[in-house]
Amino acid sequence: MSQIFQTVPIAHFVYFCSVLFCIGVVGVITRRNAIIIFMSVELMLNAVNLLLVSFSTYRQDPAGQIFVFFIMAVAAAEVAAGLAIITMIYRNTHSVDINELSRLKN
């Protein structure tokens, strides 16, 4: 078992990850720039990664760290496709404001 869990309880890691996740949620809700919304999603994914690694170390089970690899792979694919979509939106509307996208409903 790692040294850190003899002094810092696992709950403090969970609080830390919760705070990071909530900052990501607030970023998604309050910002209008589509790129910053993507970055907030990345922040939320990283909070979950940190939680998985801390529980993996706590329980001495490598499966959690393997799962982090797959989350990273999916995040990379998501960013590649998402930034292509944002680039195309910018090419058509000359803006990355997400309120421009409400035109899609007509």
Partner 1 sequence: MLASSFYFLAFITIFFAIMVVLSKNPVHSVLYLVLTFFGISGNYIFFLDAPFIGMVNIIVYAGAIMVLFLYVIMIMNLNAQIEPKKSNLFRISGAITGGALLLILTAVIRQSDLAGAGNNMINHGNIGTIKLLGMVLYTDYILPFEVASILFLVAMVGAVVLGRREEGKITIGNIPYQK
Burial class (CB in 10 A: 0-12, 13-18, 19+), 58: middle
At residue 9, the 3 state secondary structure works out as: coil
**H-assigned helices in 31-101:** 34-59, 63-93
Nearest approach, Cβ of 91 to partner 1 (angstroms)?
A: 7
Smallest separation (angstroms) from partner 1 to the CB of 64: 9
Residue 98 CB, shortest distance to partner 1, in Å, is 10
Phi-psi region of 64 (alpha: psi -120 to 50; beta: other; left: phi over 0): alpha
